């Protein structure tokens, strides 16, 4: 799509549609960013205190690289973020009061989604909450190592969802909104 065509696609959208979608995407990005900021404190602690052995430093780096590829790129950029952005674009054009009020949750697929998307949203959330409960009892430097592999993908996801939403506004095909079949 040429730059002029992309600009025309954005101009054809009503400002309220863009704002409603931005509320959904922004809420998701803020959720991911806030989680990254909270975990970063634990992730940098063993580095700041120089408490990592060379083996632990290698594990830290490998885990961060693993997280960036599998969580950041494959999970966030290729699966989660396109769905969130597509649902935000859909929400901007089909605004229901409840859906708009809870736009970030709508965009993540917690409701008004196909069965697979809802199951994935709820299941992933429960799994993450259980993981957090367990990780709170893990001592440093291991907690920092684990969080060091989680923070970069969360930041990647926050950026990717915004970029994909903007690309979607410009008319790019970003994926399916995975809405329920009627």
CA dist 160 → 1, 82, 178 (Å):
20, 9, 18
Q: What is the pLDDT of residue 181?
A: 82
d(CA 128, CA 121): 11
Say how many CA atoms lie within 13 Å of 92 toward its Cβ: 25
Q: Which residue has the higher pLDDT, 42 or 8?
A: 42
d(CA 83, CA 181): 16
Residues of the chain with pLDDT > 90, as a percent, come to 91
What is the tens place of the pLDDT at every residue in 86-124?
999 999 999 999 999 999 999 999 999 999 999 999 999
Q: Which helix (H) or strand (E) holds 114?
A: none
Q: What is the pLDDT of residue 10?
A: 56
pLDDT at 130 over 90: yes
Tell me the pTM: 0.90
Which residues are CB-contacts of 161 (< 8 A; sequence separation ≥ 6)? Answer: 25, 28, 29, 32, 76, 80, 81, 84, 85
pLDDT at 3 over 90: no
- For residue 180, the 8-state DSSP code is P
d(CA 155, CA 38): 12
Residue spans per domain, the chain: 16-169
pLDDT at 1 over 60: no
């Amino acid at each position: 799509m040429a730059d002029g065509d992309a600009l025309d696609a954005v101009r054809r959208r009503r400002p309220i549609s863009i704002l409603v979608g931005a509320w959904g995407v922004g809420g998701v990005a803020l959720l991911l960013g806030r989680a990254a900021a909270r975990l970063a404190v634990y992730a940098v602690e063993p580095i700041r205190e120089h408490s990592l052995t060379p083996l632990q430093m290698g594990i830290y780096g490998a885990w961060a690289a693993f997280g960036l590829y599998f969580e950041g790129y494959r999970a966030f950029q290729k699966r989660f973020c396109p769905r969130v952005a597509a649902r935000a674009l859909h929400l901007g054009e089909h605004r229901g009061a409840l859906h708009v009020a809870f736009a970030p949750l709508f965009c993540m697929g917690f409701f008004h989604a196909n069965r697979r998307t809802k199951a994935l949203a709820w299941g992933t959330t429960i799994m993450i909450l259980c993981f957090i409960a367990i990780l709170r009892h893990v001592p440093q430097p291991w907690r920092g190592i684990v969080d060091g592999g989680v923070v970069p993908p969360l930041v990647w996801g926050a950026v990717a969802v915004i970029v994909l939403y903007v690309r979607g506004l410009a008319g790019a095909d970003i994926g399916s909104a995975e809405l329920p079949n009627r």
